[in-house]
Amino acid sequence: MASTYTTNLRLTKQGDGDNPNSWGQVLNDGVISLADQAIAGYTEVSIGSAATVNLTANDGADDQSRNAFLKITGSVGHVATSIFLVIPNKSKSYSVLNAVSVSAGAVDSVVMMRVAGNTGVTLGRSSTTFQHVVCDGTSVRSANLLPNNVCIADNLFVGNNAQIAGTVTVAGAGTFKAAVSVEGAAKFASTVTVSGAANFKSTVTVEGAQVNKSTILLEGAVSLDDAPVHQTITTIADAASIVMNMATNNQFLVTLGGDRTLAAPTNLTVGQTGHIYCIQNSGGGHTLGYNSVFQFAGGSDPVVTPAGGAVNLLVFSVRATDKVDAVMVNDLK
């Protein structure tokens, strides 16, 4: 009776009466050694110019895809900006170290692990941190759902979306390459970098710098210890009608080259605050009018200081989408 193989790990199942003089060797090579590989095996997979890299899968013999730990090396972005690392359509978990380098100008290049033609997971790049992924026989997903409190004594690196249902505490830096959602309190003792959308539903404490490259939603308190919060100032081109786009910034500057009107800001959000520096050009003498959305004390529009180079600061708060309460501070020196 011919040998068969187990479904997921491809271990040898000897048939009755098979290998009468060598069954022990077949057991050692085709079962015990391969089980060792599946539990604790480590292998390196080098990716080259091909857009798809298929991990080897051999029945009853050594292969790449049976290993528990995979280190991915090579480079992405030179020939292909997305490389698919294809594994067998069998249930299995992997710990993956995606240590590939990225070609200059190709920072968005990725390595995705998947079963051919199915949902995969983008592997975060790191030379030191493994990512745990699970294949259910069809789809590959990152094992990043942490249902309880999380305490990490060193740096935290998340290569894909992170959803944490409890508290997260990171003693080092936190790096999230995609979206992050934290339903409990979050405390970061060093720098936090979030490349995707961030949703924190409770208190957030950041003791280092914080860099958010997309939308951030904070539903709880925010505490920043010795970590200043700052924005750049957006310079608006001088025009007869000056428009602030509140979807892009809260702080603006315009140099008045003539008599101007401050138009109703676009994309207002109730509760939003901001300011705009209104600076006279070297000639000065220009006036500034206001759209009716701006509300001033006593209903009187403020007058900008007319002297050449005079700096005037309009500070405002959005009470309603058609009500922007404002105060002018004149002639700052």
- Provide the CATH number for the domain around residue 314: 2.60.120
**Residue 229 domain-assigned?**
no
Q: Is 17 helix (H, G, I), strand (E, B) or coil?
A: coil
* Residues 119, 238 within the same domain: no
Q: How far apart are the first and last CA of the chain?
A: 96
Q: Report d(CA 182, CA 42) in Å as an integer.
A: 33
DSSP string for residues in 252-304: EEEEESSSEEEPPPBS--TT-EEEEEEEE-SS----EEE-TTEE-GGGPPP--
pTM of the predicted structure, to 2 decimals:
0.50
Domain count, the chain: 3
Q: Report d(CA 57, CA 86) in Å as an integer.
A: 11
Of the three residues 184, 202, 224, the one that is the final residue of a domain is: 224
**Residue 257 domain-assigned?**
yes
- Identify the band that residue 105 occupies on the pLDDT scale cut at 50, 70 and 90: low
Of residues 282 and 154, the one with the higher pLDDT is 282
What pLDDT was estimated at residue 227? 64
**Residue 60 domain-assigned?**
yes
**Mind spelling out the 3-state secondary structure of 174-218?**
EEECCCEEECCCEEECCCEEECCCEEECCCEEECCCEEECCCEEE
Could you tell me which of 155, 151, 181 has the C-alpha nearest to residue 168? Answer: 151
* Residues 70, 156 within the same domain: no
* Residues 150, 135 within the same domain: no
* Residues 126, 178 within the same domain: no
* Residues 172, 207 within the same domain: yes
* Residues 181, 218 within the same domain: yes
* Residues 191, 255 within the same domain: no
The C-alpha angle with vertex 13 and arms to 8 and 18, in degrees rounded to 5, equals 160
Of the three residues 224, 256, 278, the one that is the final residue of a domain is: 224
Q: Which domain holds residue 162?
A: 145-224
**Residue 247 domain-assigned?**
yes
* Residues 273, 251 within the same domain: yes
Of residues 183 and 17, the one with the higher pLDDT is 17
What pLDDT was estimated at residue 145? 54
Q: Quote the mean pLDDT of the chain.
A: 87
* Residues 200, 251 within the same domain: no
**Residue 91 domain-assigned?**
yes
CA atoms within 13 A on the CB side of 320: 5
Q: Cα dihedral angle (20, 25, 26, 30), rounded to 10 degrees?
A: 170
What pLDDT was estimated at residue 146? 54
At 196-245, the pLDDT tens digits run 777 787 788 877 777 777 777 777 777 766 667 778 899 999 999 999 99
**Residue 199 domain-assigned?**
yes
* Residues 181, 129 within the same domain: no
Of the three residues 142, 168, 192, the one that is the final residue of a domain is: 142
